[in-house]
Structure 1
Amino acid sequence: MHRRQFLRAVAGTAALSTAAALTVRDGDARSPESGASDAANATAANVDSTATGTPSGTPTPTPTEAVATPTTGYEPIGSVAVEGATEAVLTPDGETAFVAVGDGFAVLDLRDPANPTVVASERGISPPGTTRRMGGVRDVKYDDGRLLVGGPAGYDPDSFYGIALFDVSDPTAPAFLRAYETAYPVHNCDLAGAYAYLTRSDREANPLLVVDVSREAPREVARWSVLDHDPVWQSVPRPLRTLHDVFVRDGFAYLAYWDAGTWVLDVSDPTDPEYVADVRERDPETLADLDGLAVARESSEPPGNDHYAATDPDGSLLAVGKESWNSNFGKEGTTPGPGDPGGPSGIAIYDVADPRSPEHLSTIDPPPTADSNINGVRTTAHNFELAAGHLYSSWYRGGVAVHDLSDPAEPERVRYFRRSSATNFWTARLAAPGGAVVATSFEDPSALDAPARVYTFPDVPRATPTPTPRPTDATTVPTGSGGRPATETASGDGGGDGRGNDGGDGIGTDATEASDATAGDGPGFGPAAALAGLGIGAWRLLGGEGSAEERG
């Protein structure tokens, strides 16, 4: 049964008011607890392994000094320094990027991918009604000319806790609309129509918070937690069931709940989220028996931890990234031993055409690392995007990768960039098929005082649509849906083996990677590819993400 059969009628969406900006609170007492890192704040991953057969990590060699040889063939085509850059989201036309920068956001012009340019920024955001400013902003989300800014990612008593909404229909002149104040950190968020979806890090229920932001005075309309589905989760240590991230598309919300797994909710009525399915590897009874150092190990090692989840545009594939390494808390030595699950973890791919019955298809292994420990050379997946038949992923110091998902049971890595000594990637996004891939490196490990950078890479080659002759008295041009030429969907091999792989095996480690990147000189590469290959507009009309579904 197709997933769309599970959708109820979408609740009516009120028009977004542009009246006076207001700041609203969720009404709970604020916690004064100190801030925490992205990894420390996150905790969530469970998938019934008997049903899915998901691998839980592989042992790694004894750690050695991390040495990285610059990759060859696949290289950035441009970059720009953006102080504090982490998450990035793009407009549907791929011409503008909005980047979280800690105290706000920056706006990048991507029309020339070889020369990305900062054209605007909003920093030191202090919503009306408060003297505090937003801090710890690690996430932004775009939808239909609006940008949602959430934070702080961790506990910071000096920061404004909550979200701010901006009108970015003119990207060069963002205009503040309104804000909503929460009592707890907002580690991540999403925006879909009139509703904002927030991870409410209260260290107890850790619920999803749904806020109607169409009103002059935004208000909470729903909460949902794994504790609501089954109270048995109350007995599980809180660090193992933290809601780390939320992704919303086409009436479904996908919640990355760390060791509690990834949960699918029907949010076609955002005021009444309903459980659909969960994908997890551990049962709550087993997790409830853990205490002390065992909890610390579980919260950082495989089979956890579900860190980020996203679907492809039509919702048929789900990717779940796990952020877990070898921890060895309270153990001797630094390498996996008997009974130690090791790490790092990768990205699991599921068939979710029937969202009530996710089926595990494959797991993409992480790039090798010379030090698999939690404080070693991290190469787990951070944020990623499924678009145009490919997975675009960031792997911290493991680099940026592109996988062909033509056969999701056997994903094929077709592009790979890695420079462990100088980059540490947070996210990867596709601007347009055949055009640019955008990725943010939030630090240079060899120069920690250097600013973060936003890089652009060439996409894999795409077929150039066959020119369509104009109709004449003697000829008739077949048309597809909407009267568009049927030949607009023409495909070709793009060179190489038909998947954009024109040589090189793309395999390497941070100890030896002399030839670890797939070559990047095939047809369709370079800044002009978006014009020479399948155009952005055609992609959006032929199955790419439309503005209502662009999620970042």
Structure 2
Amino acid sequence: MNRRQFLRAGALAGVVTVGTTVVGSAGAGRVAGAGAPHRATASGTTMPNGTGTPTPTPTEAVATPTSDWEPSGSVAVPGATETVLAPDGETAFVAVGDGFAVLDLSDPTEPTVLTRETGISPPGTDRELVQAFDVKHDDGELLLAGPASYHPDSFRGVVRYDVTDPGAPELVDAVETTYPVHNCCFADGLAYLTGNDDDRNPLVVVDLAGGGEVGRWSVLDGDDRWADVDQAVRRLHDVWVQDDLAYLAYWDAGTWIVDVSDPADPTAVAGITPIDPGTFEGKSYLERYRETKEPPGNVHYVATDPAGELLAVGKETWNSNAGLEGTTPGPDDPGGPSGIDLYDVSDPTEPTELATIEPPATADPNVGGVWTTAHNFEVGERYLYSSWYEGGVKVHDLGDPTNPREVRYFRRSSTTSFWTAQLTSPGGSVVASSRYNPADLDAPAVVYTFPDVPRETPTATPADTERPPTSAPATADTETQSGNEPTGTRPGDEPAGTLPGDGTTGGDGPGFGPLAALAGLGVGAWRLLGGGDDEQ
């Protein structure tokens, strides 16, 4: 029995989850009304860290960075959010909200902007893409997704570019959806989309070459008890695909591993679920709202190492005082930033927790305070490269994944807020995008380069090692921002979130925006540009 057959057999026997017991077997998500043509350990063995991390009150100083690691270069890239790299490590592609920018990193001490593609309106529509916060690269092609949340005037979906000549990107085609696309993954001609439709919130797989949606899977297929829980706490925030497995960041519904070897028939393999669906029963509107902001849960970003044996799960949390008095966490309030959990997934049917990387300290853990919660990252062969908003950029040695060791740390909370950290090549450079300058809201976003941890001996090329397809010391900052919830003034903020219960808009969404009910429309996708199979 080969590995994939083994996984299928395990899935048919029932889904194993960490932390909760799944009622019923795993159902495969199938296409229902696809769009017209136009990609757990055994129960009780381990428990994820669901308590959050205690944080200092706003009157306490934050931690001082522990290394003299400083940027080696930088370049202004207005609107910069997610950043991905070409396999050679000399080109970066950066989502900028209204399009993407291409950076030349051949000299990491002086990165330059090669070109900037904005005002993207695919043929067949008069709408332009906005709120494009995610971008993915695979085999000379680029996929740009958006809008990150509901936007009445934006093109919704993904656009694909040929970037074999990075300085002259060419639009290949586009797929329009009836839902916003917050994040995506792109591998082997398949696009894996976060299909948050205010209902099942499925993973949607689109075959770009064949011209249509081929499959979908929802957390409700893995555990139908989540159907009774407000959909706002079980949105699909992100997806990572490697070796025929999709790793899904399902916010408070946890992390799910899904077999996508047959993209038309995705099947659950395991779930890492720190919160039981029954926890939400009887909770008030404001209690459910606060739950979308605070630990435990809030699975935001997931990625595996190149071997597919180590899984990192990042959680994005704060303290929320919505409907409460006071501004700081109390003894019965676990609010504050969360870190990155590490799991052994060498047997994906039995993920085993190994360790948790705690978040940097913050002077103000509130949603409107100093953000130091985990954001996007890359898991290399030995090192983890992570971003923490105002908490900075870190590198951890994962030689012993049960005891990750911090080896590099840059933090300048007063002037940077990092979105991601990516590696060009082993021993090369770390590329990190800072979405805004807290001290000057009119200043552009900046992409920084840092020297990587030195390697003792040469290693294989980055294409073979670190990067599977896509999918004076800084001074500690003690400034705070007043108010219980954010004011919405941070440039590049993930847009305001849907409040559980009534679909109204709040000012501090955790990475999701209000998804308008699109009456009469499904979550299908269709081709806008290109002739499908006839032109492939």
Q: State the partner residue of 1:54.
A: 49
**Is 1:87 the equivalent of 2:82?**
yes
Residue of 214, 228, 234 corresponding to 1:241: 234
Report the Cα offset of residue 539 of structure 1.
4.7
Residue of 62, 72, 78 corresponding to 2:73: 78
- Kindly provide the amino acid, as one letter, of the partner of residue 68 in structure 2: G
8 Å contact from structure 1 (residues 26, 183) kept in 2: no
- Kindly provide the amino acid, as one letter, of the partner of residue 47 in structure 2: T
8 Å contact from structure 2 (residues 387, 421) kept in 1: yes
TM-score (norm 2): 0.79
Mean CA deviation greater in 235-244 or 411-420: 235-244
**Distance in structure 2 (CA, Å) of the matches to 1:112 and 1:398:** 27
Output one character per residue of 1:471-505: Cα deviation in whole Å (capped at 9) or x when no partner: xxxxxxxxxxxxxxxxxxxxxxxxxxxxxxxxxxx
Higher relative contact order (CA 8 A, sep 6+): 2
**Is 1:276 the equivalent of 2:198?**
no
Once the two structures are superposed, the pairs formed by residues 526-545 of structure 1 within 5 Å of their partners are 534=458, 537-541=460-464, 543-545=465-467
Report the Cα offset of residue 288 of structure 1.
3.4
Query: Which segments of 5 or more consecutive residues in structure 1 lack a partner in the other structure?
Result: 9-24, 29-46, 465-533
Output one character per residue of 1:113-146: Cα deviation in whole Å (capped at 9) or x when no partner: 0011111221111001000010000000001111
Q: State the partner residue of 2:175.
A: 180
Q: State the partner residue of 1:33.
A: none
Find the residue that maps to 2:437 and give its secondary structure: coil
Output one character per residue of 1:59-86: Cα deviation in whole Å (capped at 9) or x when no partner: 2222138889898621000000011110
**Distance in structure 1 (CA, Å) of the matches to 2:44 and 2:322:** 24
Query: Which segments of 5 or more consecutive residues in structure 2 lack a partner in the other structure?
Result: 9-32, 37-41, 472-536
Report the Cα offset of residue 173 of structure 1.
1.1
Report the Cα offset of residue 269 of structure 1.
1.2
Residue of 390, 393, 402 corresponding to 1:397: 390
**Distance in structure 1 (CA, Å) of the matches to 2:448 and 2:306:** 24
Output one character per residue of 1:411-448: Cα deviation in whole Å (capped at 9) or x when no partner: 00000000000000000000011110000000000001
- Relative distance call for 1:3 and 1:95 in structure 2 (3 A) is farther
Paired residue total: 442
**Distance in structure 1 (CA, Å) of the matches to 2:461 and 2:158:** 34
Report the Cα offset of residue 403 of structure 1.
0.2
Q: State the partner residue of 1:368.
A: 361
Q: State the partner residue of 1:99.
A: 94
8 Å contact from structure 2 (residues 48, 274) kept in 1: no
Once the two structures are superposed, the pairs formed by residues 106-117 of structure 1 within 5 Å of their partners are 106-117=101-112
Q: State the partner residue of 1:161.
A: 156
Find the residue that maps to 1:350 and give its secondary structure: strand
Report the Cα offset of residue 3 of structure 1.
6.2
Output one character per residue of 1:345-386: Cα deviation in whole Å (capped at 9) or x when no partner: 100000000001110000000000010111110100110000
Of structures 1 and 2, the larger Rg is shown by 1
**Is 1:446 the equivalent of 2:439?**
yes
Report the Cα offset of residue 232 of structure 1.
1.7
**Is 1:260 the equivalent of 2:253?**
yes
**Distance in structure 2 (CA, Å) of the matches to 1:448 and 1:68:** 24
- Kindly provide the amino acid, as one letter, of the partner of residue 297 in structure 1: R
Report the Cα offset of residue 200 of structure 1.
1.1
Output one character per residue of 1:74-123: Cα deviation in whole Å (capped at 9) or x when no partner: 10000000111100000111111100010111111111100111112211
**Distance in structure 1 (CA, Å) of the matches to 2:43 and 2:285:** 24
**Distance in structure 1 (CA, Å) of the matches to 2:61 and 2:371:** 10
Q: State the partner residue of 2:120.
A: 125
Q: State the partner residue of 1:135.
A: 130
**Is 1:344 the equivalent of 2:266?**
no
TM-score (norm 1): 0.77
8 Å contact from structure 2 (residues 67, 409) kept in 1: no
- Relative distance call for 1:67 and 1:367 in structure 2 (3 A) is closer
**Is 1:410 the equivalent of 2:332?**
no
8 Å contact from structure 1 (residues 2, 353) kept in 2: no
Mean CA deviation greater in 325-334 or 428-437: 325-334
Residue of 127, 141, 164 corresponding to 1:146: 141
- Kindly provide the amino acid, as one letter, of the partner of residue 137 in structure 1: A
8 Å contact from structure 1 (residues 392, 428) kept in 2: yes
8 Å contact from structure 1 (residues 92, 550) kept in 2: no
Q: State the partner residue of 1:518.
A: none
Find the residue that maps to 1:278 and give its secondary structure: strand
Percent identical pairs in the alignment equals 62
**Is 1:229 the equivalent of 2:222?**
yes
- Kindly provide the amino acid, as one letter, of the partner of residue 544 in structure 1: E
Once the two structures are superposed, the pairs formed by residues 251-330 of structure 1 within 5 Å of their partners are 251-330=244-323
Q: State the partner residue of 1:195.
A: 190
Report the Cα offset of residue 339 of structure 1.
1.8
Over aligned residues, Cα RMSD in angstroms? 2.2
8 Å contact from structure 1 (residues 3, 352) kept in 2: no
Output one character per residue of 1:205-224: Cα deviation in whole Å (capped at 9) or x when no partner: 11111100013xx2111111
8 Å contact from structure 1 (residues 27, 183) kept in 2: no
Find the residue that maps to 2:46 and give its secondary structure: helix
Q: State the partner residue of 2:508.
A: none
